[in-house]
Amino acid sequence: MPYKHSDFCVDIPNHDCDVTIKLNSGKEILVQIRPSNADGDYNGSLDVILSENLVVLCYEGDNMENSKAPFSDRQHERFAKQMVIERV
């Protein structure tokens, strides 16, 4: 089967909302967009809820450098410009 690619743009409202991405496998990825969490330094929060525990790769910058933890006592946090989830 030849390679096929599509782009989709979703306009998000100015209030909290959830976007569900349904994959061909039947799995769903839930994206929770929360502009209500905004303050002067950022525009709110975005949570990605997966259907199961999966490996998430985080990369800094455009060169896909391994991301680093911003604080040594919070190793679950990473600086990242790109997140990759494989084997969904």
Q: How far is CA 77 from CA 29, 58, 67, 68, 74, in A?
A: 20, 10, 10, 8, 6
Looking at the fold, whether 39 and 62 belong to one and the same domain comes out as no
Looking at the fold, whether 36 and 15 belong to one and the same domain comes out as yes
- For residue 1, being part of any structural domain is answered with no
Structural domains of the chain, count:
2
Looking at the fold, whether 63 and 76 belong to one and the same domain comes out as yes
Domain containing 77 equals: 54-88
- For residue 10, the model assigns a pLDDT of 87
- For residue 18, the model assigns a pLDDT of 95
Tell me how far apart the alpha carbons of residues 28 and 5 are, in angstroms, rounded to a whole number.
Answer: 20
Looking at the fold, whether 16 and 43 belong to one and the same domain comes out as yes
Looking at the fold, whether 44 and 66 belong to one and the same domain comes out as no
- Express each pLDDT in 19-62 by its tens digit: 999 988 888 999 999 999 888 777 888 899 998 888 888 898 88
Looking at the fold, whether 87 and 61 belong to one and the same domain comes out as yes
- For residue 21, the model assigns a pLDDT of 93
Is the overall model pTM greater than 0.85, yes or no? no
Tell me how far apart the alpha carbons of residues 58 and 78 are, in angstroms, rounded to a whole number.
Answer: 7
- For residue 80, the model assigns a pLDDT of 87
